[in-house]
Amino acid sequence: MKCQQILCLCMWMTLSVVPCFAHHMAVVVNKDNIAQNVTSAHLAKIFKGEVKKWPDGRNVVLVLHSSSSGEIGTLEHLTKMSEANVRAMLAAQQNSIRTVGSDAEVIDAVATTPGAIGFVEEHSITDRVTVVRVDGKLPMEAGYLPH
Any domain includes 69: yes
Domain holding 68: CATH number?
A: 3.40.190.10
Task: Please state the pTM of the whole predicted model.
Answer: 0.80
How far, in Å, CA of 107 to CA of 100, rounded? 10
Any domain includes 102: yes
Distance of CA 34 to the CA centre of its chain: 18
DSSP string for 80-97? T--HHHHHHHHHHTGGGE
Angle of helix 69-79 relative to helix 83-92, nearest 10 degrees, comes to 90
Any domain includes 11: no
Any domain includes 43: yes
Any domain includes 68: yes
What per-residue confidence (pLDDT) applies to 140? 86
What per-residue confidence (pLDDT) applies to 17? 34
What per-residue confidence (pLDDT) applies to 60? 95
How far, in Å, CA of 13 to CA of 11, rounded? 5
Where does the chain have alpha helices with state H?
Answer: 3-17, 40-48, 69-79, 83-92, 103-112
Whole-angstrom CA distances from 107 to 20, 44, 46 are: 23, 20, 18
Domain count, the chain: 1
| Domain that residue 126 falls in | 21-134
pLDDT in tens, the chain (147 residues): 444 443 333 333 333 333 333 458 899 999 999 989 999 999 999 999 999 999 999 999 999 998 877 888 888 988 999 999 999 998 998 888 999 999 999 999 999 999 999 999 999 999 999 999 999 999 888 888 765
Whole-angstrom CA distances from 50 to 9, 23, 45, 79, 121 are: 52, 26, 5, 12, 25
What per-residue confidence (pLDDT) applies to 146? 61
Any domain includes 45: yes
Any domain includes 3: no
Any domain includes 63: yes
DSSP string for 32-52? T----EE-HHHHHHHHHTS--
